[in-house]
Amino acid sequence: MIVAGVGCRKGAQAADIAAAIAAALAGAGLATTALALIATSARKGDEPGIAAAASAIGVPLVVVPQRDLEAAGARTATKSTRVIAVAGVPSVAEAAALAAAGPGARLIARRAAVGPATCALADTGAAP
């Protein structure tokens, strides 16, 4: 099962989020239909652009609690000191993808940045 983790600047539009997701999927050689859900941090859970992108793609949006995001942060590939200072994790997109995909998940696409949005992909290894 493929999970897209999303991070963004405040006010990012659905098109920005969708573009970041599309870039991550394309980079991993995957179609949008491979995506099972979109995950983001609790801090970004009320961003309308993320919810609208999930709705347009037709997958559920999961809001990851801060403690789960931090626990998954140790498994991220990207390390941003700015993001650590602001969000408490090295990469919101990577940590959200890994946290939502579960403890055995592996990162299959590092954070892809498109404008004000980022997306990373994790695979649970389980069938959808």
Q: Is residue 128 part of a domain?
A: no
Q: Is residue 60 part of a domain?
A: yes
For 49-108, write each residue's pLDDT tens digit. 999 999 999 999 999 999 999 999 888 988 888 887 888 888 999 999 999 999 889 999
What's the token pair of residue 82?
A: 């700015």
Summary mean pLDDT of the chain: 93
Planar angle of CA 122, 7, 110, nearest 5 degrees: 40
Tell whether the model's pLDDT for residue 127 goes beyond 60.
no
Tell whether the model's pLDDT for residue 125 goes beyond 80.
no
Predicted pLDDT at 110: 94
Number of domains in the chain: 1
Q: Is residue 28 part of a domain?
A: yes
Nearest to 3 by CA among 65, 43, 28, 89: 28
The CATH code of the domain that includes 91 is: 3.30.420.180
Tell whether the model's pLDDT for residue 128 goes beyond 70.
no
Q: How far are the Cα atoms of 2, 16, 19, 88, 121 from residue 27, in angstroms, in the given order?
A: 14, 17, 12, 27, 10
CA atoms 43, 40, 48, 80: torsion sign? positive
Predicted pLDDT at 77: 87
pTM of the model: 0.92
Structural domain for 34, as ranges: 2-123
